[in-house]
Amino acid sequence: MNNSVSISYVLSAYIELTRTCHQSCGYCSFFSEESPLLAIDEVKEKVADIARRGATEVIFIAGEAPQDFPHIQIALHQNGFASFADYLNAVCREAIANNLLPVLEVGYLDAFTMERFINAGCSVRLNLVCSTLSNPGQSLEKSRNRNPSTGKACIEGLHAAGIPYSLGFVTGIGESEEERLKFIAETGRFCTADPLLQDVRLTPFQPSSGCSMPDRPPMSFAAIKKTISALREAFPVHHISLPPHLCYRFPELVEAGLNDLGSVAVLTGDPTHRNFDVPSFETLKARLEEKNIMLYERGTLSTPVALNRPEVFEAVSNSRKLIERRNLSGLNLIDNAHCFVCGPRNKSGLHIPVQKSVEGHTCTFTWVPGPAYQGYAGIVHGGILSTLLDEAMAYAVMGAEKDILAVTADMHIRYLRPTPVGVPLKFAATLVGQRKNLYFARSSVILPDGSVLAEAEGRFAEIAIPGGKK
């Protein structure tokens, strides 16, 4: 008998609208007072890209009340908006138009502003603190009215406005264990039966560059485990999550009540913890399978009152189809922009914009290898050439519209001449045939004078999407 348990996650992405904020929370490394506002045209581009890469939700993150600052007011006017709330409504509409469920993480909202989002189709992420911590030297000393009471008032406002929300408990920032556990229990009694509450997460403090308390130690694993148990007791029917990049030992927390990893920003990283890399699905799956724990994807919303809003009907339907296909598939091919060849987020990558070099089912790009990529002195390593020949063929198979999802089955390479370092190399590939779900491609490495240095042939297997087009 299989005694495994399951844990869920949401394939998510962040879009930073502005870091400008009138709060100065000591534990935070995200917010500032000088950050510009992301232009609405840039929002549209980012939303479309996130939708193309398969996310089911997008989290729009901003500082609290940025409209208090003149440069944000000017930017809102230049973008054609009378208020920050109007701007947020517009970004939510853009997400829904791309079949993404919008989530707002924009600090605490007043009751008047909340009413502006009744029909926006969004949900709200509310981060709570467990203690006042406003004395000199404490983490909320310079914050404005950030305490457990204002958090509770914000919950009441969201409930009154009928806006779905999730709760995040920010812990380890100076509160005592007694204060933390008491606040969790009180909050559970206050809103655990609320049909608008979607899920609950723990965000344990991790020192990050930019926060004003970088020397404060992170929470111990024992304290995190005890807090997870308290959350499970206070919220017995909800998803209880923890960002996996903030606690490496997250698989060990399942026995304490962890049953979710929440919104895992695989596609963009976590802008609130920039020095912590967000693990991919395959990495998470491997870590959990060591403990006989199965990982599956879920949707953003979890209660009927949130799911049945007419404004999100199409986005919910689309996300369900994506999730079903990925959960049934044995391989999740997620583009998180970390590809060694073309990924802009890979600090060790080549950063070649291969996708811009595709026309129809041909791919041509140029790369100048430096000495870091040599084998023998002055000669490019054959493995690097193999990698780039494979990349060129893969893009030729997928095509400019990327309407074919395929992986390399095998490839054969002929090295004709040594490839010199420091010379522009042209990589050219084309699709040459197809048989059932196999695609055949050829590629070459060419010097500026037309000399061919290496040639490759490859077979690429198309990945069938269960319940959908191959």
pLDDT score recorded for residue 7: 96
pLDDT given for residue 236 in this prediction = 96
Listed by start position, the domains of the chain span 5-328, 354-462
Predicted pLDDT at 126: 97
The architecture in CATH of the region 354-462 reads Roll (3.10)
Q: Percentage of the chain surpassing pLDDT 90?
A: 82
- CB atoms inside a 10 Å sphere around CB 86: 13
DSSP 348-408: TS----GGGGEETTEEEEEE---GGGBSSTTBB-HHHHHHHHHHHHHHHHHTTTT---EEE
The whole-number pLDDT of residue 212 equals 84
pTM of the model: 0.87
Structure-block tokens of residue 287: 């870590």
Give the pairing type, strands 101-105 and 197-204.
Answer: unpaired
Q: Would you say the CATH fold of 354-462 matches that of 5-328? A: no
The secondary structure of residue 191, as a DSSP letter, is: H
Per-residue model confidence (pLDDT) at position 404: 86
- Report pLDDT for 467: 39
Dihedral (Cα; 385, 388, 389, 391), 10-degree rounding: 160
- pLDDT computed for residue 470 by the predictor: 35
Which residues, given as ranges, of the chain have pLDDT below 50? 1-2, 466-470
pLDDT for the residue 330:
65
What CATH number is given for 5-328 in this structure? Answer: 3.20.20.70
